[in-house]
Structure 1
Amino acid sequence: MTRRIILALWMAGLIRAQSSTPLKVTPSSLSFAYTLGDAKLPAAQTLSVSGPAGGTATVTASGGLWLTVTPASGALPVSAKVSVNPTTLVAGVHSGTVTVAVAGLDPVVVAVSLVIKSPPSTLAASPNPVAVTYVRGDANPSPVTLSLTSSGGLLAYSVAVAGAAWLAAAPKSGAIFPAFPSTVTLTVNPAGLAPGAYKGTVTVSAPQAANKSVTVTVNLTVNPGIPTLASLWPSRITQGAGPVTISLSGGNYFTGTVVKAGTTALTASYLGPNAMTAVLPANLLAAPGDLSITAENPGAGGGTSQARTFSVLSSSPSIGAVVNAASYLAGPVAPGTMVTLFGTALGPDALATFSPPSGGGTIATTLAGARVLFGSTPAPVIYASASQTAAMVPYGVAGQTSVAVKAEYNGVQSPAVTVNLAQSSPAVFTASGNGTGQAVAFNYDEATGAFSLNSESNAAPKGGIVVLYATGEGVTSPASADGQIATQASPAPIPTATVHIGGADSEVLYAGAVPGLVTGIIQVNVRVPQTPPAGKAVPVLLFINGVQSQAGVTIATR
């Protein structure tokens, strides 16, 4: 009897020892990272599961179809592969879980995060290369305007000229605001140069840009008459169009200049030494492809210009995402918000930006053949390209909870996507262009009236004034007009704007329209409070009508 009791107790202890073996899952959390547009998906990660011998584990993923795990079950120990597919997901943090369960034991939940970032801003300079032809004895060539653009946030830049004493560029530094190109004027003084080919470079450097710098090659040809072809307008059309008249801009044209598409001479009209038009016949536009356009001055001393590409397109527009242009986050947007559309065939291959009307006026709702429709209302278009277009949400959508958005290019519309609406959706522009990090901010010197870019090396003093830029304020009072270029500060600045710097309430001196920019982009002048600790990355939050701007935006204070 005693032996039987001892054996029973020993077996019970063994069972308890077996069942007390814990369920162990490593690692305890998983994190994946992805940048929009990257062709390579994040690598799969492995969960190691151990527990009672002979036990069976089930492994399940939740949070979205973008998260998968395999195998779904197996005898312990188990190695489970966790994979993510960010395709079609928008920028931001996406969360999910992987749950591991074994009968009789508490399940283990592993948190999974997928951080999707927007690509950094890219610096672009146009035209590039620049070709200048000089005929000896003529007046000096006209200055060339170099257009500097940023694909996202504000970029501070500097300009350096090398390899040519005859080439100059001004200004030497500046800033490029999103959707508002900066210009650098290139001047050529060929005095004393013998006939021949000359080359100089203009390097535009922007440390915050993804590509850091752009080198523009300037080619000067001193001879009696080779024409230049700087640009075409338009530069693309949908296949099947009838005859299309294109405008050629360049130099050294005359009445005998011949315009060609490949080897086909076109019917051309001479407008002046720097401009011509030519007609592309329907047969050249029947199939998709690229046409090489040149201008040729026949005869002695003449020659053929550099080629420009005219594209015949066949694809229809498609919208992949609609995000706030400042935060680069998807979500509800307010009337007047600047938004960015990502997709395909949204506009021309080369970035097109609007030309601000002189003395105010409104921004057009069509740019280089591109339009954005909110319901049936066309939106003012800030810039347009094949993969990315920015527009201002029409104020007329106020009162609705959502709106159907379509992109249109050369009369062909995309399928609609639904965008939710809100009274306000504030977001602060950042120097990185992805909605996080250093804000687009300027320090204001009350003594001198000078502005300087806020940065780690140029922090704002406590008690000093910092100027921020944002969008998403919503409907204003008095009402703002769609696409209106502000000519003065708002007569009635937004009354409900508040700012927290380092978590402390800050005195808002002004919050309203920015003279020279489109209504819907606002300027917020705020005084840095005395209480929060100074630092290189002090958090900044903007509140409008109680709605908070995106987290992760900072300024430097001292």
Structure 2
Amino acid sequence: MTKTFLLAYLLACGGLAFAQAPTVDKTTVAFTYPYNNANNTLTAKVTAKLTITTTVMTVGYTSTPAGWLSVTPLSGSSPLALIVTANPTSLSPGPYNGTITIYTGATCTTATCTTVPVTLTITNPASSLLLGSPANATVPLTPTISATAYTLALPFTSGGPLPTAEIDVSTTGDIIPFTVTTAVTKAGTGSVSNWLRVNNIGSPVATSTSGVASGSSIVPITVTLDQSTLDTLDAINYTGTITIAPVKTGSSSGTSSTSFTVTVTLSVAPGTPILCVNPAPPTSCAVGQVPIFPISMPVFLGSSTVTPIPPILTLYGDNFFNNGSWAFYVRPDGTFHALPTTWVSRKILTATIPVVDLTPPQVSAAGEIWNIVVVNGAPNTNPLNSAAQSSQAPFQVTDPTQPYIQSVVNSASYSPAATQLPIGTVNPYPSVVSPREIVSIFGLNFGPSSICSNTPTAFSDANGNPQTEYGQTIAACNYIAVSFQVGADTSWSAPLIVATSNQINAIVPAEMGTYADGATVVITVSVLNIAKQATYSATKMSFDPGIFTFGGNGRGQAAVLNVDPTTGAITVNGAANAPKGSAIEIFMTGLGDLAMLPTVPPLAMVDGQVATGPVALADNSYRVLIGGQSAPIFYAGTAGTGVAGLVQINAIVPPGTGSGAQSITVEIGPLANGAVTARRSQTGVTINVK
């Protein structure tokens, strides 16, 4: 055998021995592509090798669907560098598979072929929140150049309805929980409370809320304003923000963390101001609310000894603004005059009348009627031409030589009306009188400047028994007389206790008890040799309780006596404390009429009669609260030898009462169904307890 033949044989045998599958540096190729991403060029390199570098390798590839996978070159010798390309264009999110085959010889067999799996995973982009507003929204959400910022304009005119807007929240796909929070920025150099309110369906209206959005439905978030905060805002623009943020959870790991900000602009405009002239629904004025207090002032005629104080009027109504409301008065000749005005709240203004405006010749010396008007916005040359003006409220400038009444109050509490029960009930009557109530009538020109006291005079009752009573006039005080009248019925004269030129203490006639609660009572003051009478209107109620105090202002230490439980000694509460469980004597007025005298036959005490013994109250629905605890009562009626109308209640200090100064109030009248006759004495009154 020649050497040439042997070499050819060995080469042939060696070739068979190296018929093998190629090896590769990557056993798999994996591509990941975010759906709709601009970077859609996906390539990878795979190197195939053979031991015999001269052997040719053939390359094939397949994919489902066909077309997205390509490989080059399709043949070559070892080492063969393959460029693998995936084209995701037009493919939807999801997994895709392909295969690369590299083999030697004519076909791909187990012995000669290597397979490389190829995967292409197209991912859906991270879901994010989407914001919008209804197509027919009157207050639409407006996008900005930023994809995550919007604006919302909320115009508000005081006195009008609250504006509302709707923000529709959805997602680009997945379910995403989200939160909604609000905040407001300061106005100028000051700060304001949060006036923004939001709520999801079924959730309370608050400064924040939450929801769960999806790609298949919307979550409507209602945006509105807080009325109580609006009542404190000036007529300017305010800025707030609403932040809507996704909540990351385990199930929402593919969720975008992008938050959205809505800048809210609130424009507050002053509406038409309201003065409580003949208040009735739907205005915000309570029934019986006066538009102006006081309703009259006297002309100032000048004095070398008295320095006049500019009177201040309190105006009651609504839609008053710190930077946009002005008060004027209009004289009978049609001229108008500005009043320096101070804003207190949306419902209260104060206006100062310059002294010169109450001094002749600026005003008639005999008095005149002004009309007070409030104007919102910049007033015109003639404020009465302003579109935003209130109704006009009459104000009387009185002749200073004639009597007039400024107010009528409970002589114990100095309040024009007791508190209506249950607590929170609107008191519809600003000035109240009740049968046998001791009242103080304040005003001017009632009589001499010195105090004139009335002295009880003797009389015989219907049974012939001697009694005493306060008369219905005071001779030393220009024969002052006070009467109470309902409609065109009988005018009942009131017993008088004491009077000065600016105050009369009188007792409401018991005959007022024959009229229904809510009846209008005209109170008239007459003075000898003065033709003009002063009148004042109040409302009759069965009860108008007030506790006498030592402070002379209806507040502070109650006029209460302690009764020593052992000796029966009487001490003044305040100077000495009342032991728990001991008796006290409370002095009041305004608890209604009295029962009949225990005579034969029974008699009613006449107006102004002085008691000669205990006479109980006609109504026993009274309650005493000390330190908030109910106190047992063992007597309620006339106070010793006091005038009918001065009431004494004897009660026990509850054993569980705290020590020190404790509040004391007295209630009278039925509480069932919030009856309007249930009334409570003034607050701020205390007794001292050991």
Give TM-score scaled by structure 1 length.
Answer: 0.49
Q: Which structure: greater strand fraction?
A: 1
Give TM-score scaled by structure 2 length.
Answer: 0.40
Report which of the two structures shows the higher radius of gyration computed on alpha carbons.
2
The structure with higher relative contact order (CA 8 Å, sep 6+) is 1
